[in-house]
Amino acid sequence: MSRKNSQRESLPRKKILLVDDHPLMRRGQADLLNREPDLLVCGEVGTAREAMEAIAKLKPDLVLVDMALPDKDGLELIKDIRALHLGLPVLAMSMQDEALFAPRVLRAGGRGYVMKAEGPERLAAAIRTVLSGQVALSPRMSAKLLESMVGPAGKSDIGPELNLSDRELEILCHFGEGWSTEEIANRLHLSGKTVDVHRAHIKEKLQLKSTPEFLRFAFRWVASRGGPSFRAPLHKDFP
- Angle, alpha carbons 70-116-66 (nearest 5°): 25
- In sequence order, the β-bridge partners of residue 113 are 92
Per-residue CA distances from 106 to 17, 95, 208 (Å): 19, 17, 29
In this prediction, residue 233 carries a pLDDT of 37
96 within domain boundaries: yes
Q: How many CB atoms lie within 10 A of CB 55?
A: 20
Element (H, E) at 92: strand 90-94
Number of independent structural domains in the chain: 2
Q: What is the CA radius of gyration of the chain?
A: 19
Q: Which residues of the chain have pLDDT under 50?
A: 152, 154-157, 229-236, 238-239
DSSP-assigned states of every residue in 189-214: T--HHHHHHHHHHHHHHHT--SHHHH
pLDDT digits (tens, 9 = 90+) for 47-68: 999 999 999 999 999 999 998 8
64: containing domain: 3-147
pLDDT at 4: 56
Do 169 and 131 reside in the same domain of the chain? no
Find the CATH number of the domain harbouring 134.
3.40.50.2300
pLDDT tens, residue by residue, 27-36: 999 999 999 9
Instruction: Examine the fold and report which residue of 114, 147, 180 is the final residue of a domain before the chain moves on.
Output: 147
The answer on 58 and 17 residing in a single domain is yes
Q: Do residues 124 and 39 make contact, with C-beta atoms less than 8 angstroms apart?
A: yes
CA distance 26 to 31: 9
Residues in the chain: 239
Q: Are residues 7 and 97 in the same domain?
A: yes
pLDDT reported for residue 150: 60
Does residue 83 fall inside a structural domain? yes
Q: Which of 122, 147, 172 is the last residue of a domain?
A: 147
Is 153 a member of any domain?
Answer: no
Say how far apart CA 5 and CA 20 lie, in whole Å: 29
